[in-house]
Amino acid sequence: MAGLGHPQLDGLLGNIEMRRGQEIAFVCVGLILPLIVLGQGLDPALLTTPSTDSWPTYSGDYTARRHSGLKQINDLNVKHLALAWTMHLTAGMGRGATGGIGPGAGAASAATTIVGGIADEGVEAPGASSGSPNIKGSILQMGGVLYVSSPDNAWAVDARDGSILWHYFWKSRGGTHIGNRGMAMYHDWLFFETPDDELVSLDAKTGKERWHKDIADFNQQYFSTSAPVVIGDHLIVGTGDDLAAPGFLQSVDPETGDLQWKWWSEPLKMGDPGSETWPNEDAMRHGAGEPWIPGSYDPQLKLYYIGTGNPEPGRGETRKGDNLFTCTIVALNVDTGKMVWYFQATPHDIYDWDSAQTPVLIDGEFNGKPRKMLAQANRNGYYFLLDRVTGEHLVTAPITKGVNWSQGAKPNGSPLWNPDKTPQVGGAFVAPASNGATNWMVPTFDPESGLFIFVTNDSYFESYITDLDPQAQRFGGIQTQGIADLGNAITALDYKSGKVVWRDYFPSGGSIPNATGMLTTAGKLLFAGDSSGNNIIAFETATGKPLWHAHIGLVSNAPETYMLDGRQYVLVAATDALFAFALNQ
């Protein structure tokens, strides 16, 4: 077997090769009776408490901290972390895997593909209908089974050895196949969204389809990438759109898929709360604001927290005003869908600085008193800390060095535009650039150190008016030109003040969409992928000091961890491949 160029990994691969003869019987049993290893269903009540032996929802738990209490792997022994198994997944109507390294690699061919979908033939989508998928989303782990998704595809994978248990493929009508954020689980059922706006429910044990339901109008160019979130008997579903269709979040019955409630991110008619921030109903009902990243949840308050997308059209001449509730963090009653409070991070956004970034729940001290808080690192270049009971603004702090578009804050804490940073005929020098100071990559919060950690990008651009006709400016009439990019970094803030404690710049370049999310553990470790160096890295959480790395290819999702059979695993994806690491035994 060829080595991977990493001494720790190569040593473990040799051990795996020697053990293969002893494990043939195990693999054969897996081929005959694959359901034996399938895990138990998920009781939604278990989601209200942190879990160490599973990863049952998008962020690991409802707080969205992406922090694990596991510490078998820690800052002292992480140097012994080595590859346990790896598996390459195959998308489309063929078999679900192309082979891998590990005890169960030979079992991959046993997984036949179950095919569903509305389209008779289906649309060819690179990486979705054939070839190598791009795994960007969270991977669920329940009862020793991993549930993995990419656009139009879902897999069940044995978490012990990487063998494929089943593969499901959805024949798509088309749509934007930019990614899939992951699945949700309710008892023995799985749920995931498709790019052509269907919500699909599968039997977790067999991969067979239970039902599918429309969740958005495909003809209006919606596309659905978000990971659903199970809260009690509610399944929370978000969608996306790059045009001007109105944004909404909805809750459906996980048993039937029937609608329970729908919340719109813009007011429905003039006179509704927030409508005074729009010039007219036409602008308001074509203002976008899609909630396309899953949120967080407080079971005591029964509040679901989520960020909304940017308004349209981009120039903003035809939508004078703050344009609520776009670029806003909102708190919704999970039983009714009614908004309890909101905080608008970017009033009247014109540079695509949506506020869909994950809101993270923190229980801690602020100004000497215990407080229930919510933290968000925003694409507009600011860190916000809010009281999650009332929505009261507590802290605003820049997350990169050059943020310059704001000249202060409104009384409610929202940033106030500097008019010199809107598009100008002679150009306006603006930071951050439209990719944002951060983006969809999930942050983490370490309660021991009090550090809120996420990926950042220092970037700058010039913004020009190229046509003075207001009608031309409705969908154009401006031009932006990137000027400088100082690179990507992992940034760790003190959650109470927003001040930078440490910042680790990646040695190589690459735009921020190539960076990935974060994971912290009680073992005093931070796991993250770099932006373009193809490494998974373990850092010392408190200092940012690198302690271990493995070169595995372009890391495409946020690392996760779980305990199985007394052994802690760290799981990460690199485009089409899963890599599971554990301490060398």
Q: Are 478 and 464 in contact (CB under 8 A)?
A: yes
Rounded Cα gap, residues 507 and 550, in angstroms: 16
Torsion of CA 54, 60, 62, 65, to 10 degrees: 140
Beta carbons within 10 angstroms of residue 499's beta carbon: 11
pLDDT of residue 11: 43
Please state the domain count of the chain.
Answer: 1
Model pTM score:
0.92
Q: Are 106 and 549 in contact (CB under 8 A)?
A: no
Q: Is residue 2 part of a domain?
A: no
Q: Are 179 and 136 in contact (CB under 8 A)?
A: yes
Rounded Cα gap, residues 392 and 270, in angstroms: 26
CA 518-521-525 angle, 5° bins? 75
Tell me the DSSP string of 171-224. E------S-----EEEBTEEEEE-TTSEEEEEETTT--EEEEEE-S-GGGTEE-
Q: Are 551 and 508 in contact (CB under 8 A)?
A: no
Residue 69 is part of a domain; what is its CATH number? 2.140.10.10
Q: Are 284 and 266 in contact (CB under 8 A)?
A: yes
Ramachandran class of 198: left when φ > 0, alpha when ψ lies in -120 to 50, beta otherwise: beta
Beta bridge partners of 518: 528
pLDDT of residue 154: 98
Strand order across the beta sheet in which 382-387 lies: 360-366, 369-377, 382-387, 393-398
Rounded Cα gap, residues 348 and 326, in angstroms: 8
Q: Is residue 175 part of a domain?
A: yes
pLDDT of residue 511: 57
Pairing of strands 67-68, 518-521: parallel
Cβ-based burial of 357 (10 A; exposed 0-12, middle 13-18, buried ≥19): buried
Cα of 74 vs its chain's centroid, Å = 25
Q: Is residue 252 part of a domain?
A: yes
Q: Is residue 568 part of a domain?
A: yes
Domain limits at 23?
7-583
Q: Is residue 1 part of a domain?
A: no
User: What does residue 509 show for φ and ψ, rounded to 5 degrees?
Assistant: -80, -150
Q: Cα Rg for the chain, rounded, in angstroms?
A: 23
Q: Are 515 and 421 in contact (CB under 8 A)?
A: no
Q: Is residue 153 part of a domain?
A: yes
Beta bridge partners of 529: 536
* CB neighbour burial string for 27-43, b if at least 16 within 10 angstroms, e if fewer: beebeeebeebbbeebe
Q: Are 383 and 493 in contact (CB under 8 A)?
A: yes
Give pLDDT tens digits along the chain (585 positions). 333 344 344 444 444 443 433 333 333 333 333 333 456 789 888 888 887 899 999 999 999 999 999 999 999 999 999 999 999 999 998 777 777 787 766 554 557 899 999 988 888 898 898 889 999 999 999 999 999 999 999 999 999 999 999 999 999 999 999 999 999 999 999 999 999 999 999 999 999 999 999 999 999 989 999 999 999 999 999 999 888 899 999 999 999 999 999 999 999 999 999 999 999 999 999 999 999 999 999 999 999 999 999 998 887 888 999 999 999 999 999 999 999 999 999 999 999 999 999 999 999 999 999 999 999 999 999 999 999 999 999 999 999 989 999 998 888 999 999 999 999 999 999 999 988 999 999 999 999 999 999 999 999 999 998 887 766 655 567 888 999 888 889 999 999 999 999 999 887 655 555 678 999 999 999 999 987 668 999 999 999 999 999 999 989 999 999 999 999 999 999 999 999 999 997
Two tokens at 453? Answer: 């950690």
Rounded Cα gap, residues 170 and 196, in angstroms: 10
